[in-house]
Chain A
């Protein structure tokens, strides 16, 4: 069976390629910083499942110190000039889109149809991680098509990947770090403590107050944590269940669904949700790291208010 672990090995090899080519790039004054960073990330993907928790902890600490102290620079892999790109775009036409769309199409079709493929009675792809595995498959197919058709130098995929990876830099591991912090918070019982504080300080005597505080609390706690998943158990245990459901007899399904979506409004406005907000700004080469957030806030705030109103009118009616 092809599992998430196989995908990790593929990713580890790609990151190792970034590290080796980064170390050889003399145009980058900090080339060994880049090499160490991507090399450690490669080690995490290749060996993380076998080296034990403490070694993984040391590895993360090293990544944090490299990324946090500005040890990474910007490599300049050899690539094509703007003129060459324009000429190639003219010559090759709209077929250039095909390999890019192939990644998405294979991930889509794979998620829908590959679930039932079996070899020797066992599923070929781990159904739990099917979409991510099919995404990996799509990348491989896309690379093969592009290499055969475009005939670039054989190291070009890694060099071009490194060009993009260096523009993201240390922010690349930020999403994974935040997910890990959420796990650490859960372990220490941060959720329970927040619930106690919230219920002791805010007056919640009316159904509307409970709904408004629950939805706003979901959004605000998501802003702090960068993740609605971390906010949901905290706010629901603190306000959702005791007040909206038990005291005012609201419907738990409606509360849960709209409560989570209120959290998502918070996700749109916080740099803590780095994978959605900061990484795209880096990828799009925006000078303002918060450019994407600024484009999202005018949608997030009215939508949060709309969620409060929606929940108030729906949750006590069904």
Chain B
């Protein structure tokens, strides 16, 4: 049972708002000690794991390309574009993006079709802000931040609840592999099919929230603007 101390360290570390990097290192150390590993063995095991997981951080190679385009006014252009499209609200824009992201992820294109650095910061968030601005005039910082957060949320939700419909997704392969180890043999397609009901419900639930946000945004701003 001592091996569970590592989880306790993570929970406590986050609860007390210590720097997450230090919390993770402490948790790995405690877990290793509980598993009767020496300090150098723990360091080597964690070093190997870090090295094996470099693919997680490799996506930062998009930063120079995105930064370069921002330098030339990419975000400003997105706002100009949307400001010209009369009738497109924040809600419609995010709803269309949610459908696009789920469909792309279902085709196995989850890391290719979006992401915070690739799509949300340079395109989706400025377009959403532009849509709100063209209808409501200058936005307060609070509203601006809520729109950005909802754009990032929509990107995540579309990805998470589309990707498992693709048969070669790593989570699907993990499920198949684990069941196989326990003597249950199924095809990836069987798993993919049963990811569809949740995907549809995710679209309905998050889509409804997007439209409600849109309605509240127009109503609230209308109210505060009226007396001026």
Judge: A and B partners, yes or no. Answer: yes
Q: Name A's B-contacting residues (CB within 8 A).
A: 4, 7-8, 10-11, 14-15, 41, 44-45, 48-49, 52-61, 63-64, 67-70, 79-80, 82, 84-90, 92-94, 96-97, 99-100, 103-104, 107-108, 111, 129, 131-132, 134-136, 139, 142-143, 146-147, 150, 152, 156-165, 168, 170-181, 183-185, 187-190, 193-194, 197, 224-225, 228-229, 232-233, 236-237, 241, 245, 252-254, 256-261, 264, 267-268, 271-272, 274-277, 279-281, 283-284, 286-288, 291-292, 294-296, 298-299, 302-303, 306-307, 310, 314
**Nearest B residue (CB) for A107:** B112
For window 1-39 of chain B, which residues contact chain A by CB distance below 8 Å? 1, 3-4, 6-7, 10-11, 14, 19-22, 24-25, 27-28, 31-32, 34-35, 37
Scan B120-158; emit 1 where CB is below 8 A from any A CB, else 0: 111101000000000000000000011011111101110
Given A108-B112, A131-B111, A193-B4, are A261 and B198 neighbors across the interface (CB < 8 Å)?
A: yes
**B 28-59 contacts with A by CB, 8 A:** 28, 31-32, 34-35, 37, 40, 42-59
| Contacting residues, chain A, for B35 (C-beta < 8 A) | 187-189
Which residues in A have their C-beta under 8 angstroms from that of B57? Answer: 11, 41, 172-173, 175-176
Cβ of A152 and Cβ of B198 under 8 Å apart? Answer: no
Q: Which label, helix, strand, loop or mixed, suits the secondary structure of the B interface?
A: helix
User: Is there an interface contact between A143 and B68, defined as CB atoms closer than 8 Å?
Assistant: yes
Distance to closest chain B CB from A136 (angstroms): 6
The chain B residue sitting closest to A168, CB to CB, is B60
Q: How far is the CA of A299 from the CA of B48 in the complex (A)?
A: 37
CA distance A94 to B197 in the complex (A): 38
Contacting residues, chain B, for A272 (C-beta < 8 A): 10, 14, 20
How many interface residues does B have (CB within 8 Å)?
Answer: 115
A89 near B116: Cβ-Cβ < 8 Å: no
- Residues 192-228 of B, flagged 1 when their CB comes within 8 A of A and 0 if not, give 1111011001100110010000000000000000000
* Residues in chain A near residue B170, CB distance under 8 A: 229
Q: How far is the CA of A42 from the CA of B34 in the complex (A)?
A: 32
A-B CB contact pairs (8 Å), 23 listed = A11-B61, A45-B58, A53-B45, A67-B21, A85-B70, A86-B76, A100-B74, A111-B108, A139-B64, A143-B65, A157-B68, A170-B21, A181-B6, A181-B28, A184-B6, A224-B10, A256-B186, A256-B191, A260-B164, A280-B121, A292-B152, A303-B161, A310-B198
Instruction: Please name all residues of chain B whose beta carbon is closer than 8 Å to the beta carbon of A233 when the two chains form the complex.
Output: 178
Q: Which residue of A lies closest to B199 (CB)?
A: A261
Residue of A nearest to B75 (CB): A85
Q: A89-B74, A188-B34 are in contact. List 12 more A-B contacts (CB 8 A).
A: A14-B64, A84-B73, A85-B73, A132-B58, A136-B61, A184-B42, A252-B186, A256-B178, A257-B193, A294-B149, A302-B205, A303-B201
What distance in Å separates the Cβ of A296 from its nearest Cβ neighbour in chain B?
Answer: 5
- Bound-state CA distance A44–B34 (Å) is 28
By a CB distance below 8 angstroms, the chain A residues around B122 are: 100
